[in-house]
């Protein structure tokens, strides 16, 4: 029976520094590397071995995937990168310290920006420090200036339907190494979680989440591999 394995990248440098990251490309910390390695070792120990891999264009997710696959002796499997698995774009909040932003704008406003379903943060101005519209990896892509969770879902789910689900339907186990909000989009869809409830779902770093599939569709079960 094929399985879908979802892994949020290990701790990043800006996770550690408590900054809004979004599409900005930051690397893993030593703790993040250890989390990724532990995820791979756990997959090997549980016999949960992926046949095909998908990840975003962002270093923290790519390196998490590679470290985990190396630990599971599966570094050789086919791998596809796509920007539609990127983290949610945090717009004008990108790079800001989260606590300083709360002090400036108030807890309620920051909570709305972070956790509302369809209200995006302020836009990121073109040409500003964290604008990625001229980054080579996004050539030909209309880089967003901000995104809500709803916006993120609207790019993740069509990609999943067209590219990931057919691989699962063919009987192969798939690993997706991505980000808190792009994985929320998948969990919302696969588990039928409401718009209101999905915003409160926390996805921990480096903890594989497994969806068993039957006949090309999720069986309805979802569990952390560490608890299997």
Residues with catalytic annotation? Answer: 9, 87
Question: How far apart, in whole angstroms, are the C-alpha atoms of residue 72 and residue 183?
Answer: 22
Question: How far apart, in whole angstroms, are the C-alpha atoms of residue 66 and residue 75?
Answer: 6
């Amino acid at each position: 029976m094929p399985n879908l394995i979802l892994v949020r990248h290990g701790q990043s440098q800006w996770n550690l520094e408590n900054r809004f990251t979004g599409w900005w490309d930051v690397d893993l910390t030593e703790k993040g590397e250890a989390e990724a390695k532990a995820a791979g070792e756990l997959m090997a120990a549980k016999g949960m071995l992926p046949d095909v891999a998908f990840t975003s264009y962002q270093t923290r997710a790519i390196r998490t995937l590679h470290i985990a696959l190396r630990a599971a002796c599966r570094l050789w499997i086919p791998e596809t990168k796509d920007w539609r698995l990127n983290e949610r774009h945090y717009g004008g909040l990108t790079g800001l310290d989260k606590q300083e932003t709360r002090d400036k704008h108030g807890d309620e406003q920051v909570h709305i920006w972070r956790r509302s379903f369809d209200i995006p943060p302020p836009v990121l101005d073109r040409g500003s420090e964290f604008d990625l519209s001229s980054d080579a990896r996004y050539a030909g892509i209309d880089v967003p200036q901000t995104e809500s969770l709803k916006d993120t879902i609207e790019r993740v789910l069509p990609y999943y339907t067209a590219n990931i689900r057919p691989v699962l339907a063919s009987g192969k186990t798939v690993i997706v190494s991505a980000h808190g909000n792009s994985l929320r989009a998948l969990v919302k869809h696969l588990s039928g979680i409401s718009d209101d409830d999905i915003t409160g779902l926390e996805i921990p770093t480096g903890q594989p989440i497994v969806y068993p599939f039957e006949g090309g569709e999720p069986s309805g079960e979802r569990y952390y591999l560490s608890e299997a």
